[in-house]
Amino acid sequence: MYLFVHEDREYLLAPGERFESDLGILEVPEDVAPGDVVETHLGTAFTVRRLRGPDLFAHLERTGAPMMPRDVGLVVGKTGVAAGDRVLDAGTGTGILSAYMGRMGTEVVTYEIDPDFADVARNNMETAGVANSVEVRTGDVTDDLDELSGFDVVTLDTEDAPAVVERTPTLLSRGGSLAVYSPFVENTREVVAAAREVGLYGIETLDTIQREMDFDDRGSRPSTGGVGHTGYLTFARRP
Ligand SMILES: C[S@@+](CC[C@H](N)C(=O)[O-])C[C@H]1O[C@@H](n2cnc3c(N)ncnc32)[C@H](O)[C@@H]1O
């Protein structure tokens, strides 16, 4: 799939697809490639672009609330997740975090308990071009903990994350990193308690708040709208 862009319009289309809008009919050539310009039958030009991370956030089909790119950035920076790493992720949800990590060259095993969400996530991984490196498993991650071990990074975005954190001494390889996203502070407290209980080190929780800046003729100031706080991210490592 590629992004077809005309001014503020963006459409996700596949080679060979036929797409109709008020700008005309777009017949996508089978051999379309990034950088091409294709026109609708009314002569409106669309530029063809490869998808990048923020495009996935904007255009993948949404199920579980997707992690925002800025929080993905924090996960990447704090865990140091990098090409060649084996990553355990749960739950998959829309698959934004998994797709970003897959695009970085990691091997991701991600669990999604809802079978319909898992199907959507598999399609999303195809769209993101990471179906070969992100394996979406349908099921409850807590059911498989006995069979999972030796991951470089574990990323969790589920209510029952504390139960998985308790198993990080086997889930993580030595020096491996844990990242847990929680929307609520109560759940975060349980995550921290579990991490302490099993002897992880470098335990740190960040309240992820960012303010977007507005620049206009009157002056510059932080935006008065939009989402400032998204959630809490807890990081820790296995000794
Ligand atoms: C908030 S979403 C995750 C979003 C994801 N991090 C992303 O970036 O798109 C949480 C997902 O976890 C799934 N889930 C909850 N508990 C689970 C469990 N124990 N095992 C597997 N998936 C689970 C839910 O069905 C939901 O789709």
CATH topology (fold) of 55-237? Rossmann fold (3.40.50)
Predicted confidence band at 69 (pLDDT cuts at 50, 70, 90)? Answer: very high
Closest-CA residue, ligand 1 atom 27, reads 93
Q: How far is the CA of 22 from the centre of ligand 1 (A)?
A: 37
Q: How far is the CA of 92 from the centre of ligand 1 (A)?
A: 5
Q: pLDDT tens, 14-29?
A: 999 999 999 999 999 9
Ligand 1 in contact with 117 (CB < 6 A)?
A: yes
Closest-CA residue, ligand 1 atom 20, reads 140
Q: Helices 96-103 & 69-79, crossing angle to 10 degrees?
A: 50
Kindly report the backbone phi and psi dihedral angles of residue 77, in degrees, each rounded to the nearest multiple of 5, phi listed first.
-65, -40
Q: How far is the CA of 225 from the centre of ligand 1 (A)?
A: 28
Q: Are 64 and 95 in contact (CB under 8 A)?
A: no
Q: Where are the beta strands (DSSP E) in the chain?
A: 2-6, 9-13, 18-21, 24-27, 37-39, 45-49, 86-90, 107-112, 134-138, 151-156, 172-182, 201-209, 213-216, 219-222, 229-237
Closest ligand 1 atom to residue 95 Cα is: 9
Q: How far apart are alpha carbons 67 and 160 in whole angstroms?
A: 17
Q: pLDDT tens, 46-63?
A: 999 999 999 999 999 999
Pairing of the two strands 107-112 and 86-90: parallel
Predicted confidence band at 230 (pLDDT cuts at 50, 70, 90)? Answer: confident
What the block records as the tokens of 127 is 């769209």
Ligand 1 in contact with 140 (CB < 6 A)?
A: yes
| Domain 2-50 in CATH 3.10.330.20 | yes
Q: How far is the CA of 140 from the centre of ligand 1 (A)?
A: 9
Q: pLDDT tens, 116-138?
A: 999 999 999 999 999 999 999 99
Q: pLDDT tens, 189-211?
A: 999 999 999 999 999 999 999 88
Q: How far is the CA of 75 from the centre of ligand 1 (A)?
A: 16
Domain ranges of the chain: 2-50, 55-237
Closest-CA residue, ligand 1 atom 19, reads 140
Residue 67, pLDDT > 90, answer yes
Ligand 1 in contact with 63 (CB < 6 A)?
A: yes
Same fold, 2-50 and 55-237: no
